[in-house]
Amino acid sequence: MSPIELTIWQTIGAFFTIAIFSFLYKDNPLYKIAESIVVGVAAGYFTVLLFWTSLKPKFWDQIITHRDGVLVIDKWWYIIPGILGLLMYFHFSSKFAWISRYPLCLYIGIGSGIAIPLSLQTFVLRQVEATMLPVSLYPLEAQSINNLLIVLMVVAALIYFFFSMEHKGVVGKTATFGIWVIMVGFGASFGYTVMARVSLLIGRIQFLLVDWLHWVK
């Protein structure tokens, strides 16, 4: 990209950056224009992206391939999900809308079947495994205390979510400790999110002052 072309594109980027920042003053036409453009551009971009990176290689190229310059049908069974995908359009027919349930149910069935072992493996077993870290008492190290604290805090937080027992006595006190842990976690996550947003803001200001205007080196 030539320097002039880069400047033109950066000016366009700066215009839209300022247009979005103008919302801080109040809702205005400049902001709405930028908003409308991003809606259209995003829909168009992701449609094109999905078409060329998913639909073509996973559907079209699986069914039809080039062999010695001749088009041949390869994995014919890939036509089936295509047909099922088309069946979804029966959703618009009041009489045959029930047909659109078939592809939807296949989708939900496969998705649920995969989710059962996968969510247990990823979200339960791996998390439990990562929580149960070794604790060395002789010599007692800071890392060991932290590992023990993590186990206690995870158990307490889980007890807070466990409603099959009344939160009274020891269970109630553990649940209270659990909610405290969760609140510290929420606070930390919130603080982390704020920092991420502020760093994005700094990035945009840097784009305007350093990349575009060259006011700051």
Q: Angle of helix 142-161 relative to helix 169-206, nearest 10 degrees? A: 110
Q: Does 39 participate in binding other proteins (rule CB under 8 A)?
A: yes
Name the minimum Å distance from CB 138 to other proteins.
Answer: 22
Judged by CB under 8 A, the residue of 64, 106, 135, 171 near other proteins is 106
Q: Does 66 participate in binding other proteins (rule CB under 8 A)?
A: no
Name the minimum Å distance from CB 26 to other proteins.
Answer: 13
Name the minimum Å distance from CB 8 to other proteins.
Answer: 9
Judged by CB under 8 A, the residue of 28, 65, 136, 146 near other proteins is 146
Part in contact with other proteins (CB under 8 A); list of ranges 64-72, 165-173, 180-188: 180-188
Beta strands of the chain (E only): which ranges? 64-67, 70-73
Q: How far apart are CA 158 and CA 143, in angstroms?
A: 22
Q: How far apart are CA 36 and CA 30, in angstroms?
A: 10
Name the minimum Å distance from CB 212 to other proteins.
Answer: 10
Site for other proteins in 193-212 (CB under 8 A): 193-195, 197-198, 200-201, 203-204, 207
**All residues at 6 or more sequence positions from 13 whose CB lies less than 8 Å from its CB, including other chains:** 207, 212
**All residues at 6 or more sequence positions from 91 whose CB lies less than 8 Å from its CB, including other chains:** 97, 100
Closer Cβ to other proteins, 77 or 215, answer by number? 77
Q: Does 76 participate in binding other proteins (rule CB under 8 A)?
A: no
Judged by CB under 8 A, the residue of 7, 30, 61, 62 near other proteins is 62
Q: Does 165 participate in binding other proteins (rule CB under 8 A)?
A: no
Identify the sign of the CA torsion 30, 36, 39, 45.
negative
According to DSSP, residue 78 is labeled G
Q: Which two tokens stand for residue 85?
A: 């995908």
